[in-house]
Structure 1
Amino acid sequence: MIEKEVTVTIENGLHARPAAQLVQQASQYQSKLELVIGQQRINAKSILHLMSVAISEGQTIKVMVDGEDEQEAWTFIASFLQPGNESTLR
């Protein structure tokens, strides 16, 4: 299991279009992908869950990835939430 905090740097946060892109790409991984925002734990593969929370640019969230391809899934989600910040991927 990989569990790390990430500060979202997507311009304007996870509004409808990037949320849909995230869900579409995250669904390709076998691993369970969850985001923890405050006291809420949401499924990152569910557009309804992502749209139910307002994830804004500059917000720090916890990312939890668990499964067979967790390293690849972690690399994807970290680079998606923080485009251009390769130091997060370690």
Structure 2
Amino acid sequence: MRSVSATVRIPQGIHAAIAHGLHREAGRFESSLFLKHGARTASLGSIVAILALGVERGAEIEILADGSDEAAALVAIVGFLDELAT
């Protein structure tokens, strides 16, 4: 299992459209992907679970990946979030 920390810089935080995009990106990989915010963790396989975290702009998150393509999956998820922050 690998993980990477990030600060959410998306102006509106992680809302429904972002959660859907995270879910879609995660579906491209064999690895299991998770988003951790505070003491709570959500699978990127569940849009509702992602939204339930209530991640706002400026929040510190951790992205976790477990599987054969975990390094590539982490790069893709971080890239997706960074792309939306601009």
Q: Give the TM-score of the pair, scaled to structure 1.
A: 0.84
Unmatched 5+ stretches in structure 1:
86-90
Residue matched to 1:75: 75
Residue matched to 2:25: 25
Q: Decide whether the 8 Å contact of 1:7 with 1:82 is kept in 2.
A: no
Residue matched to 1:58: 58
Residue matched to 2:3: 3
Q: Give the TM-score of the pair, scaled to structure 2.
A: 0.87
Q: Decide whether the 8 Å contact of 2:3 with 2:74 is kept in 1.
A: no
* Residue 84 (structure 1) shift: 7.8
AA matched with 2:21: Q
Task: Provide the rounded CA distance (Å) in 2 between the counterparts of 1:2 and 1:83.
Answer: 22
Count residues with an aligned counterpart.
85
Unmatched 5+ stretches in structure 2:
none
Task: Provide the rounded CA distance (Å) in 2 between the counterparts of 1:35 and 1:25.
Answer: 13
Structure 1 SS opposite 2:35: strand
Q: What is the CA RMSD across the aligned residues, in angstroms? A: 1.7
